[in-house]
């Protein structure tokens, strides 16, 4: 390992002695490789094209055979072969009579080089740059991952993502798609007069979701602060302030476990539209996600882990009550006590969580156990019990319920929306009930944010609000099984011990 590094440092010194860097200031490529591959697809085997090109990239493989060598050079768009002939190279580089020996002995796989030459398709049909000049751009001191197996160690893929990106075109494509998803989402919202306004990450009262926050401290004010667990309460303050369409797409932090669907920091977009309700938000959700899917995948029909998914609107809408009744035979409207519901659930071999202290919470428990995982095609699950939704408005016609939906795709919660609660008296009671649960030991329960209540007392228009988990959406659009596949640098335990990489 360190032998390889020593050898490469020696080669770097040899290059420096030849006036070749090894860390060049700049290089001007004339083309990217994918464009060359595409534009010269018609070049016949063994033919050469009268065209001088300059390309830059990383040397991926080397095959040296006497007085002829083949390298593959990859730029961001992909690979192209270098056809390196001793006689040609040395005839066009009179300043270095050993140009071929230098190129083949001082350039290793992993180095970044620039080459210039003409285009030639080899007898075996590989489009190549026939090299007439070369320059070292950056000497690499570390080996590339195994050229055949790649980065087989999953952990190393996340820990050293740069290596994963170098050797895995699929990983590059995933992050390219993520960028397209985010930018097309912003553009769609901007075109509809939504304003993106940034709200604080550092908060003294975390709110807007049931989750444990990360804690931190501001020295100058000697103030305990938490990282935000949602953007909801500040975006609503902006609606109170008169912005009728606002959103924020950004990072959220929740102090919880790590799984294939959870990373402690993740990205959400929250969208608020004044004078709208949750039915309007359903339409907005399906339009927005279908649009993003079209932009990213070129179609609204996609395949996720072997299952075909159709994202063209309209999507199925079903109440939580109906879904649970269909799946379990239990009609939760009929239960007049928690015990009655619990007994009926046990009769169906459903687990009855001790923390679920009401019929509504049991309904949610039954939903999670028997329905959620089977909601493969996009489905709006509508009308939730009030107990679990302290920021959603009471249902217009169903007592004990709120106007809320969650969007499920491939069995995963992907979006959450309400007709927002704008009654400050009701809101205070709901948050106080949460605070009591908190005092009783539920550390995911919410607290009372007095300034937020004050804002509601100033008056907020009827508003529809929506949150979408960007990471889970990107997983869907990139066919990724784990959230770690769509986060460039997912949280990992730091490496310790003598081999630690920092």
Partner RNA sequence: GGGUCGCUAGCUCAGCGGUAGAGCACUCGGCUUUUAACCGAUUGGUCCUGAGUUCGAAUCUCAGGCGACCCA
Interaction site with RNA (CB under 7 A): 1, 3-4, 7, 46, 61-68, 70, 72, 81, 83, 85-87, 105, 108-109, 122-126, 128, 143, 145-149, 152-155, 158, 257, 259-260, 351, 481-482, 492-493, 498
Q: Which is nearer to RNA, 82 or 468 (CB)?
A: 82
Residue 324: which residues within 8 A CB-CB, separation 6 or more?
330, 332, 363, 366, 367, 370, 371
Q: Which is nearer to RNA, 9 or 458 (CB)?
A: 9
* Least spacing, CB of residue 354 vs RNA, in Å: 12
Q: Which is nearer to RNA, 329 or 481 (CB)?
A: 481
Q: Which is nearer to RNA, 165 or 180 (CB)?
A: 165
Q: What is the C-alpha separation between 191 and 406, in angstroms, rounded? A: 25
* Least spacing, CB of residue 37 vs RNA, in Å: 12
* Least spacing, CB of residue 153 vs RNA, in Å: 4
* Least spacing, CB of residue 154 vs RNA, in Å: 4
Q: Which is nearer to RNA, 16 or 453 (CB)?
A: 16
**Cα–Cα nearest to 73, from 27, 30, 108, 101:** 108
Q: Which is nearer to RNA, 65 or 220 (CB)?
A: 65
Q: Which is nearer to RNA, 289 or 350 (CB)?
A: 350
Question: Taking a C-beta distance cutoff of 8 angstroms, is the pair 203, 230 a contact?
Answer: no
* H or E element, residue 61: strand 48-65
Q: What is the C-alpha separation between 433 and 400, in angstroms, rounded? A: 15
**Cα–Cα nearest to 183, from 200, 196, 198:** 196
* Least spacing, CB of residue 23 vs RNA, in Å: 19
| Lookup: tokens for 44 | 């016949």
| Lookup: tokens for 253 | 């932090």
DSSP-assigned letters across all residues of 347-361? HTT----TT--SHHH
Phi, psi dihedrals of residue 74, rounded to the nearest 5°: -120, 130
Strand partners, 481: none
Burial class (CB in 10 A: 0-12, 13-18, 19+), 402: buried
* Least spacing, CB of residue 278 vs RNA, in Å: 29
Q: Which is nearer to RNA, 260 or 432 (CB)?
A: 260
Q: Which is nearer to RNA, 13 or 154 (CB)?
A: 154
Instruction: Return the SS3 of 34.
Output: helix
* Least spacing, CB of residue 13 vs RNA, in Å: 14
* Least spacing, CB of residue 218 vs RNA, in Å: 30
* Least spacing, CB of residue 496 vs RNA, in Å: 7
Q: What is the C-alpha separation between 230 and 386, in angstroms, rounded? A: 19
Q: What is the C-alpha separation between 491 and 494, in angstroms, rounded? A: 9
Phi, psi dihedrals of residue 376, rounded to the nearest 5°: -85, -55
């Amino acid at each position: 390992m360190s032998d390889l590094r020593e050898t490469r440092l020696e080669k770097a010194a040899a290059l420096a002695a030849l006036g070749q860097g090894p860390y060049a200031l700049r290089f001007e490529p004339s083309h990217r490789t994918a464009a060359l591959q595409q534009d010269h697809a018609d070049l016949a085997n063994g033919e050469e094209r009268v065209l001088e090109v300059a390309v830059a990239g990383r040397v991926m493989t080397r095959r040296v055979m006497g007085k002829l060598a083949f390298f593959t050079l990859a730029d961001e768009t992909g690979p192209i072969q270098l056809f390196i002939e001793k006689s040609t190279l040395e005839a066009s580089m009179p300043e270095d009579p050993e140009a071929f020996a230098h190129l083949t002995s001082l350039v290793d796989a992993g180095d970044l080089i620039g080459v210039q030459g003409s285009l030639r398709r080899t007898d075996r049909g590989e489009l190549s740059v026939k090299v007439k000049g070369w320059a070292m751009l950056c000497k690499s001191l570390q080996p590339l991952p195994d050229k055949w197996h790649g980065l087989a160690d999953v952990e190393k893929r996340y820990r050293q993502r740069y290596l994963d990106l170098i050797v895995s075109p699929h990983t590059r494509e995933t992050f390219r798609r993520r960028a397209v998803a985010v930018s097309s989402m912003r553009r769609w919202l901007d075109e509809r007069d939504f304003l993106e306004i940034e709200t604080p990450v550092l908060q003294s009262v975390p709110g807007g979701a049931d989750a444990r926050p990360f804690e931190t401290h501001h020295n100058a004010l000697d103030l305990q602060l938490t990282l935000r667990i949602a953007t909801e309460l500040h975006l609503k303050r902006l609606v109170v302030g008169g912005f009728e369409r606002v959103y924020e797409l950004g990072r959220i932090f929740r102090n919880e476990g790590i799984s294939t669907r959870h990373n402690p920091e993740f990205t959400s977009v929250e969208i608020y539209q004044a004078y709208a309700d949750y039915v309007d938000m359903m339409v907005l959700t399906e339009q927005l996600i279908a649009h993003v899917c079209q932009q990213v995948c070129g179609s609204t029909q996609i395949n996720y882990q072997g299952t075909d998914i159709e994202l063209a609107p309209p999507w199925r809408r079903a109440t939580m009550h109906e879904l649970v009744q269909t799946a379990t035979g239990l009609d939760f409207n009929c239960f007049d006590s928690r015990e009655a519901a619990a007994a009926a659930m046990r009769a169906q071999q459903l687990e009855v969580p001790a923390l679920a202290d009401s019929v509504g919470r049991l309904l949610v428990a039954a939903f999670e156990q028997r329905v959620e995982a089977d909601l493969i095609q996009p489905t709006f699950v509508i009308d939730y019990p009030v107990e679990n939704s302290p920021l959603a408005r009471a249902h217009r016609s169903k007592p004990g319920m709120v106007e809320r939906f969650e969007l499920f795709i491939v069995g995963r919660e992907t979006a959450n929306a309400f007709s927002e609660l704008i009654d400050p008296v009701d809101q205070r009671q709901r948050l106080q009930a949460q605070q009591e649960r908190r005092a009783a030991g539920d550390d995911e329960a919410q607290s009372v944010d007095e300034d937020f209540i004050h804002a509601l007392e100033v008056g907020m228009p009827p508003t529809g609000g929506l949150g979408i988990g960007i990471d889970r959406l990107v997983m869907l659009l990139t066919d990724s099984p784990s959230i770690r596949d769509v986060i460039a640098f997912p949280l990992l335990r730091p490496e310790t011990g003598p081999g630690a990489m920092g």
